[in-house]
């Protein structure tokens, strides 16, 4: 056992994903992960655990003062580690780290991880994360991006590159889509290829010192913070390498200390040429702005200027009853205040393009203008093709239009991202609730009733309403009303504020549109507090898939009966979620990939169309 007497810093055990070098991944991603550890090491004695492990055993071995769990990462070749026995060593404070974009579709997986690991306080690298996860914003702090000054510095390179264009410029980056072509067509530029993170060519991109030297040799370098108005690493890397930052004006960028024509240059599609012409015509002015930007970064945005996790550790140690911890801003310090003071953390209230469109679509949907609402939600997907909030709302629109197959497919995809692709133990509770409701709208009530208890610890207001629907219909079919207890799980989705009666009336109308008039009638009576005397005959299985569902349900039931819960996958026993494939994966060691592939091919014969 390691003694804690041989070090002065508090010990932090960092449960980090397995970010090992990958031939198909961009090398700068691995560098980012290494720099995060280096930043933590400025205040902590850091022990990195990046393998499957037993939390109790790790705590016994290293005796940490604090543990930090990375979660919610969108792989790019890295492996999410498995951690067991996290309900031990309760005296050791635990923090979650959302190491991903604010809009990432792994947010539901992050919230599931936090619930499973018993973590109630989180840090995020994205300044806009509180706006994208409002359900946890009170306990969510920002540990923002930074630079390593040993890499991003002034190398004394001669300014031989007028403009360097680096970074991707697809739909997520509307500013770059507008500005980059205008610059490229007018000025000599060094243009970096736009390889995706997972591309085999991504490893060829400049990174580390080579990238910093290219920036240092550049006169001006433009970048932006995506449609979300985020502060990305490039905002710090460019001026930190003593190049003139040309960027979009956003609330987050201004919160970082950037001021137009003082330490950066704000441009848009209307004035970019005019402003760059000015910079090239006035090199001394540009040098002044560049020097001021360099000073800003090296005085406020290096890894030594990110003490927020350490501050939380110190404040939490002395936290008294009636006190809480708040943050003065996304780049600010943490402090302790009385709860009675009503002071809250200061979060950025930006104008993220997808959030604006979602709000517009929600207003249109409430007014019954479904087609117009759909266009708003589809426009969100032009920015982020996998945005879960937009996909979820499109599923609601599909139900409103009676297109049950479309709604079902969208909801299946959402749940699959969390429990299959990410590997969380349970899905977002709202997505799961509406998946069950979509089954009912398709006339598959019995399937919904069987699945409602598949995640016994899952609880949420919308999920309880889905159970209420099932209970009301089950009463009419001599069913049993289920009971559920537990604390509500957090969701990434926000829904209109309705009473239960209003919601039941809304869903009854939805059932009517989905050609389920008998079920709609039951709910309308329920909303009025009435009972329906006539017993309903509810369909049990789709005729063309009944045998498959019986096989899947039978295997799942057998595993429960044999108490093989450790091998039982966390995906529903349906072909859409590759249930048999996940059963096989649990039986085969991780290293035996070839046999696993053969099993997968064999099981694919049992899958229905779209099941993979």
28-69: pLDDT as tens digits: 788 899 999 999 999 999 999 999 999 999 999 999 999 999
What's the DSSP call for residue 203?
G
Distance CA 322, CA 317 (A): 14
Does residue 521 share a domain with residue 382? yes
Q: Which helix (H) or strand (E) holds 37?
A: helix 27-40
Confidence of residue 22 (pLDDT cuts 50, 70, 90): low
Confidence of residue 540 (pLDDT cuts 50, 70, 90): very low
Residue 420 lies in a domain: yes
Q: Is the pLDDT of residue 607 over 50?
A: no
Residue 150 lies in a domain: no
Distance CA 279, CA 89 (A): 58
What CATH number is associated with residue 185?
A: 3.40.50.2000
Per-residue model confidence (pLDDT) at position 589? 55
Confidence of residue 495 (pLDDT cuts 50, 70, 90): very high
Residue 344 lies in a domain: no
Does residue 568 share a domain with residue 488? no
Per-residue model confidence (pLDDT) at position 559? 75
Residue 69 lies in a domain: yes
The mean pLDDT value for 561-588 works out to: 78
Residue 13: strand pairing partners? 47, 67
More confident residue, 275 or 207: 275
What's the DSSP call for residue 606?
G
More confident residue, 594 or 186: 186
The torsion angles phi and psi of 184, rounded to 5 degrees, stand at -65, -35
Per-residue model confidence (pLDDT) at position 6? 47
Residue 337: strand pairing partners? 324
Cβ 203 vs Cβ 28: under 8 Å: no
More confident residue, 28 or 183: 183
Average pLDDT score over the chain: 88
Worst-scoring range by mean pLDDT, 241-255, 272-286, 321-335, 550-564? 550-564
Percentage of residues in the chain having pLDDT higher than 90: 72
Q: pLDDT tens digit string along 236-261?
A: 999 999 999 999 999 999 999 999 99
The torsion angles phi and psi of 217, rounded to 5 degrees, stand at -90, 0
The mean pLDDT value for 59-85 works out to: 93
Confidence of residue 398 (pLDDT cuts 50, 70, 90): very high
Token pair listed for 499: 């009473």
Task: Tell the residue number behind the tokens 């009301």, with chain if given.
Answer: 472
Q: Which of 462, 492, 527 is the last residue of a domain?
A: 527
Longest dimension (CA), the chain: 86
Per-residue model confidence (pLDDT) at position 601? 47
Confidence of residue 529 (pLDDT cuts 50, 70, 90): low
Q: Is the pLDDT of residue 163 over 80?
A: yes
The mean pLDDT value for 151-155 works out to: 98
Task: Tell the residue number behind the tokens 């085999």, with chain if given.
Answer: 200
Does residue 63 share a domain with residue 27? yes
Token pair listed for 536: 């309903």
The number of domains in the chain is 4
Per-residue model confidence (pLDDT) at position 28? 78
Cβ 150 vs Cβ 302: under 8 Å: no
Residue 506 burial (CB count, 10 A):
15
Distance CA 111, CA 489 (A): 8
Confidence of residue 205 (pLDDT cuts 50, 70, 90): confident
Per-residue model confidence (pLDDT) at position 101? 95
Confidence of residue 416 (pLDDT cuts 50, 70, 90): very high
Does residue 267 share a domain with residue 201? yes
What CATH number is associated with residue 323?
A: 3.40.50
Residue 537 lies in a domain: no
The mean pLDDT value for 191-219 works out to: 82
Does residue 104 share a domain with residue 26? yes
Per-residue model confidence (pLDDT) at position 478? 45
Q: pLDDT tens digit string along 329-383?
A: 999 999 999 999 989 999 987 789 999 999 999 999 999 999 999 999 999 999 9
Distance CA 303, CA 146 (A): 6
Got the DSSP string for 269-311? Answer: TTTHHHHHHHHHH-HHHHHHHHHHHHHHHHHHSBGGG--HHHH
Find which of 406-410, 459-463, 503-507, 567-571 is predicted with most confidence, using mean pLDDT: 406-410
What's the DSSP call for residue 79?
B
Q: Which of 527, 554, 575 is the last residue of a domain?
A: 527
Q: Is the pLDDT of residue 477 over 50?
A: no
Residues whose CB falls within 8 Å of the CB of residue 319, separated by 6 or more in sequence, listed in order: 325, 336
Does residue 324 share a domain with residue 182? no
Does residue 560 share a domain with residue 504? no
Q: pLDDT tens digit string along 306-317?
A: 999 999 999 999
Residue 410 lies in a domain: yes
The mean pLDDT value for 572-578 works out to: 85
Task: Tell the residue number behind the tokens 């108490």, with chain if given.
Answer: 563
Full strand arrangement of the beta sheet holding 94-98: 45-49, 11-15, 66-71, 94-98, 122-124, 140-142
Residue 153 lies in a domain: no
Residue 87 belongs to domain spanning: 4-144+307-331
Does residue 320 share a domain with residue 236? no
Does residue 465 share a domain with residue 390? yes
Confidence of residue 609 (pLDDT cuts 50, 70, 90): very low
The torsion angles phi and psi of 204, rounded to 5 degrees, stand at -85, -10
Distance CA 316, CA 309 (A): 10
Per-residue model confidence (pLDDT) at position 561? 74
Residue 350 lies in a domain: no
Does residue 9 share a domain with residue 135? yes
Does residue 386 share a domain with residue 292? no
- Three-state DSSP at 182 gives helix
Does residue 296 share a domain with residue 317? no
More confident residue, 4 or 161: 161
Cβ 235 vs Cβ 253: under 8 Å: yes
């Amino acid at each position: 056992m390691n003694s804690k007497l041989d070090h002065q810093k508090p010990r932090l055990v960092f449960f980090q994903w397995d970010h090992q070098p990958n031939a198909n991944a961009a090398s700068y991603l691995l560098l980012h992960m290494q720099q995060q550890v280096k930043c933590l090491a400025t205040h902590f004695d850091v022990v990195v655990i990046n393998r499957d492990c037993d939390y109790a055993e790790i705590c016994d071995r290293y005796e940490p003062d604090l543990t930090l769990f990375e979660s919610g990462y969108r792989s790019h070749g890295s492996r999410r580690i498995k951690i067991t026995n996290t309900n031990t060593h309760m005296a050791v404070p635990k923090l979650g780290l959302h190491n991903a974009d604010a809009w990432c579709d792994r947010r539901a997986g992050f919230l599931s991880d936090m619930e499973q690991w018993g973590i109630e306080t989180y840090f995020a690298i994205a300044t806009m994360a509180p706006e994208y996860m409002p359900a946890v914003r009170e306990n969510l702090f920002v540990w923002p991006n930074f630079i390593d000054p040993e890499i991003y510095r002034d190398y004394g390179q001669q300014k031989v590159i007028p403009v360097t264009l680096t970074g991707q410029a697809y739909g997520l980056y509307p500013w770059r889509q507008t500005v980059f072509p205008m610059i490229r067509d007018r000025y000599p530029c060094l243009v970096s290829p736009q390889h995706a993170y997972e591309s085999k060519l991504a490893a060829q991109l400049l990174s580390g010192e080579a990238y910093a030297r290219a920036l240092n040799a550049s006169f001006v370098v433009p970048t932006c913070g995506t449609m979300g108005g985020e502060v990305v690493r490039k905002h710090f890397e460019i001026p930190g390498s003593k190049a003139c930052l040309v960027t979009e004006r956003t609330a987050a960028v201004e919160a970082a200390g950037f001021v137009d024509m003082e330490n950066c240059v704000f441009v848009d599609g209307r004035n970019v040429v005019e402003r760059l012409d000015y910079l090239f015509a006035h090199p001394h002015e540009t040098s002044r702005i560049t020097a001021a930007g360099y000073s800003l970064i090296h005085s406020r945005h290096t890894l030594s200027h990110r003490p927020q996790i350490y501050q939380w550790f110190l404040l939490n140690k002395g936290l008294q009853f009636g006190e809480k911890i708040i943050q003065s801003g996304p780049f600010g310090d943490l402090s302790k205040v009385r709860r009675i003071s009503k002071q809250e953390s200061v979060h950025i209230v930006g104008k993220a393009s997808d959030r604006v469109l979602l709000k517009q679509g929600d207003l249109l949907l409430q007014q019954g203008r479904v087609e117009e609402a759909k266009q708003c939600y589809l426009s969100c997907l032009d920015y982020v093709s996998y945005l879960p909030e937009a996909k979820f709302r499109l599923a609601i629109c599909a139900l409103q239009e009676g297109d049950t197959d479309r709604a079902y497919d969208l909801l299946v995809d959402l749940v699959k991202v969390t429990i299959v692709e990410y590997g969380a133990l349970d899905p977002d509770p709202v997505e799961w609730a509406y998946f069950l409701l979509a089954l009912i709208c398709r006339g598959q009530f019995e399937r919904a009733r069987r699945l409602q208890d598949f995640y016994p610890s899952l609880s949420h207001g919308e999920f309880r309403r889905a159970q209420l629907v099932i209970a009301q219909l089950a009463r009419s079919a001599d069913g049993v009303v289920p009971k559920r207890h537990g604390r509500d799980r957090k969701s990434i989705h926000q829904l209109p504020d309705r009473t239960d009666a209003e919601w039941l009336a809304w869903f009854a109308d939805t059932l009517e549109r989905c050609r389920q008039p008998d079920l709609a009638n039951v709910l309308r009576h329920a909303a009025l507090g009435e009972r329906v005397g006539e017993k309903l005959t509810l369909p049990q299985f789709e005729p063309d898939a009944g045998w498959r569902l019986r096989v899947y349900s039978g295997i799942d039931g057998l595993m429960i009966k044999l108490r093989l819960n450790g091998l039982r996958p966390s995906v529903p026993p349906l072909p859409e979620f590759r249930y048999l494939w996940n059963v096989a994966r649990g039986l085969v060691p991780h290293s035996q990939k070839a046999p696993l592939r053969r099993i997968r091919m064999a099981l694919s014969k049992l899958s229905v169309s779209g099941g993979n």
